[in-house]
Structure 1
């Protein structure tokens, strides 16, 4: 009988420098996953890419590694901005403070109430126009309107 520890999967480093987690189970196991790359892998690819001078060699490298030229542009920009720090993906963003969350909630509520007020104003305007039209039709037919106003 095999046992499995309950908890989050432990990240594993794949031979090509990609970082992934063993998530081969669940309803979305067959869906594609976003690839992530280690800073060392990015630096190695950038160095190899820059060293290539023959026509078509850079494209061959990208095809072999399954990368796009946008990866190279993004990684180079990150390397120029902050060397290794720029290459590593930032961690989880800090959550909002309770005050900021309350402000956001109240802002959404105000927007919803303003939209509801605009709908009711439009409906009231429409009812007023319909009333005026019915009075005009009633007068043109020669009968007195039976309005209590």
Structure 2
């Protein structure tokens, strides 16, 4: 192994971002069985720490070496306009959904009322026979076809 271990003041000192990336680069080069553990021992880092750094690098928490300084996480002006537009569209769609649900509810109640009126009319007028429950057309079988 020709990797130079970065000097630290003590075992509790932290590695810099560049040192972490250099250590991870060397760690990735360890391909032989047991070489990664040997590398961790040589550097003086626990294998859990290396795994944590690898995970942070994969999720983007360990910032890139090319990006010096702080990243700007604030929204840009275009993104703010787009967000406002999407939120407004979301409110419009929520209102449409509420109106549609209310209409379906009203239609259901109207259907139940008409059904009750038909049953009531049949009960009071002896000439009207009891209405048979109607099956929707798409549920009725076609002549000549047998259902399984």
- So what's the TM-score if we normalise by structure 2? 0.50
**Match for residue 94 of structure 1?**
74
Moved runs in structure 1, 4+ residues, more than 6 A?
none
Shift of 1:65: 2.1
Larger strand percent: 1
Shift of 1:142: 2.0
**Match for residue 132 of structure 1?**
114
Aligned length: 104
Shift of 1:41: 0.8
Structure 1: gaps of 5 or more residues:
1-13, 19-37, 144-149
Q: Which has the larger radius of gyration?
A: 2
**Match for residue 66 of structure 2?**
85
Structure 2: gaps of 5 or more residues:
1-11, 41-45, 126-148
**8 Å Cα contact 2:24/2:50 also seen in 1:** no
Residue 105 of structure 2 aligns to a residue whose secondary structure is helix
**8 Å Cα contact 1:46/1:72 also seen in 2:** no
- So what's the TM-score if we normalise by structure 1? 0.50
1:119 aligns to 2:101 (yes or no)? yes
